[in-house]
Amino acid sequence: EMSEMSERSKQNVAHGLAWSYYVGYLKIVLPRVKKSMEEFCRANPNLLACRKTWKLHILVPLSCDVYDDLEKADSNIQYVTDLTETTLARAGTKKRVYKHSLYAIRDEENQLWYCAVEYATPLQSLYAMSQDECAAFSREERLEQAKLFYRTLEEILKGSKECADAYRLIAYEEPEEAETHFLSREIVWHLRQEHHEEIAVLEGSHPHTPSTALDSAELNLQISVSDLPQPLRTDGF
């Protein structure tokens, strides 16, 4: 009965996508991100001087509008290079390659900020489902699913020791009127926060770690904790 209720409300969709994204991708790549950054920095010591930015910046647009080419999303975002690849045998595929791209983000003062950034790819599935008659997702349901995806992923990653300090979630709602450089400004805001955090640590004060531009309190879905889908097992597997 509980399963049928979740099916009807579609709560299980975002919940499942978040867990799949974590188990099938983030849990694999995030523990290796800092090593890739270290290798890159040895060859390019000036580009990633701030160690707080040595993480994967994950874009979570609540519209689920995901660009395959970030440079087309915002001309102030320019591809630089790929970081060191991770190659693993995975689900029958030998030598499956995992890699991240490094970008230069130009701010309003023409300064360049460097970081590894990519979209949360499951949002593409949510968007495609909203376009498919079989899934019967309305635009409003898609927005709720995107918010639930973010909240679920945030909670999963907070509890993951392997992924600690290796990621930053950047959730945002795009303005109703198109802004040419909205995305680059959003990313730079987070990079500046990371710089402030590092300075605070170096100075010996307690850094204030801000949440993402849209934190969980703002992503209020009016769904009680008891209504959310629960894991099938509670023994850690």
User: Can you tell me the distance from the alpha carbon of 151 to that of 99, in angstroms, rounded to the nearest whole number?
Assistant: 25
42 found inside a domain: yes
Residue 48, pLDDT score: 81
Separation in Å, CA 197 to CA 30, 148, 183: 20, 28, 22
- Tell me whether residue 212 is in a domain: no
CATH code of the domain covering residue 111: 3.40.50.12100
- The rounded distance, in Å, linking the Cα atoms of 54 and 57 is 9
pLDDT at 231 over 90: no
Cα separation values, 155 from 126, 130, 144, 193, 220, Å: 19, 25, 17, 21, 15
DSSP H or E run through 90 = strand 86-90
In a domain, 154, yes or no: yes
Please check the confidence at residue 143 and state whether its pLDDT lies above 80: yes
Question: Can you give the pLDDT at residue 222?
Answer: 42
Residue whose pair of structure tokens reads 């850094």 in the numeric block: 207
Nearest to 104 by CA among 178, 166, 46: 46
Q: Quick: pLDDT tens for 200-215.
A: 766 665 544 444 455 5
Residue 30 lies in a domain: yes
Q: What is the mean pLDDT of residues 191-206?
A: 77
22 bridge partner residues: none
Q: How many domains does the chain have?
A: 1
Does residue 176 register a pLDDT over 50? yes
Q: Tell me, yes or no, whether 225 lies in a domain.
A: no
pLDDT in tens, 84-115: 888 888 888 888 889 999 999 999 999 999 99
Is 229 within a domain?
no
Q: What is the pTM of this model?
A: 0.82
Question: What distance in Å separates the CA atoms of residue 53 and residue 41, rounded to the nearest whole number?
Answer: 12
* Terminal C-alpha separation, the chain: 24
Tokens of 91: 């689900």
* Residues spanned by the domain of 126: 1-205
9 contacts 222 by C-beta, under 8 angstroms: no
Q: Domain for residue 71, yes or no? A: yes
pLDDT at 219: 56
- Average pLDDT, integer, range 55-84: 95
184 found inside a domain: yes
